[in-house]
Amino acid sequence: MRTSLLASLALIIIAGSLGFAVLAALAASQAQKLGRRATAHMSGSLQQTFIFADVRHLQQRIMLAGLATMAACWAITTSWRMALLLAAGFACLPWAALWLWRRRRLQDFRRQTPDTLSLLAEGLRSGGAFNQMLHQVAQRMPAPTSQELGLVVRQLRLGVPLEQALSELDQRMKTEETRLLMAILQMGAASGGQLAESLDSLSDATRRKLALEDKVRALTAQGRLQAWVMGALPFLLALVLYQIDPASMRLLVDSRVGQVVLFGVLLLQCCGALLIRRIANIEW
């Protein structure tokens, strides 16, 4: 009886170990797939912004910096929850920086669009070919327009159709002006209309639209500043209270009730920020 019980227990332990090994292998395989997808996504995003870097080396540096930050936070606060929260925020920091960089690059491209269209119209009016004028505009304009148009010119030299090159430009720079430029060029190629006049009209309309956007942004600056102040005020107040009474503020992290309250505060902060952003942003 005892021998059979030990044999059954050994079989259960072996089966459990095998099951755990299989689950660990599946988890490792899924983690590798997610890692490869994240690496490919980050590499593609960096290449779209003309930043060519070793993504794996960059990820290793970010991981080491995150671990160092987590260790420093745990050594100062002696709270592993706070250290994990800070590490999670630090892991999201590169993606946030990349998103801000791409957004700024898109805004710079939009602001350079009127001058780009005017130069193209002047070149076409003087009798130059479109590909040649596109190359000259790419040389005269600053980044990011020079980089994007330079890539289009290289694609045209390799035999890529103009429609496909402009479609890829629209995928990289998803703006209304790029789509309108594609439509104007397609209509000009199909009907043989006055392409220079159409580009001048689009340039003038884009310039007036950007001026109106700047005016609206200036009028809503106070609301956006209030959103930043109201969003940062609870965290600054919590930091001040932690310096005054650390024992009471630790209850927000150490106790279950404090964690629920902290989660509720963060949720309400996010909802308030989204509402203020919805009010301050003007849809076109």
Report pTM.
0.71
Average pLDDT over residues 237-241: 84
Q: Which residue has the tokens 């503020």?
A: 249
Residue 137 has pLDDT above 80, yes or no: yes
Instruction: In whole angstroms, give the CA distance from residue 271 to residue 105.
Output: 28
In angstroms, the Cα distances linking 168 to 97, 117, 162, 174, 191 are: 24, 18, 10, 10, 23
Average pLDDT over residues 35-57: 64
Q: What is the pLDDT of residues 114-133, one digit of tens each?
A: 998 898 888 888 877 778 88
The CATH fold assigned to 105-217 is: Receptor-associated Protein (1.20.81)
Which residue in 136, 130, 226 sits closest to 185, CA to CA?
130
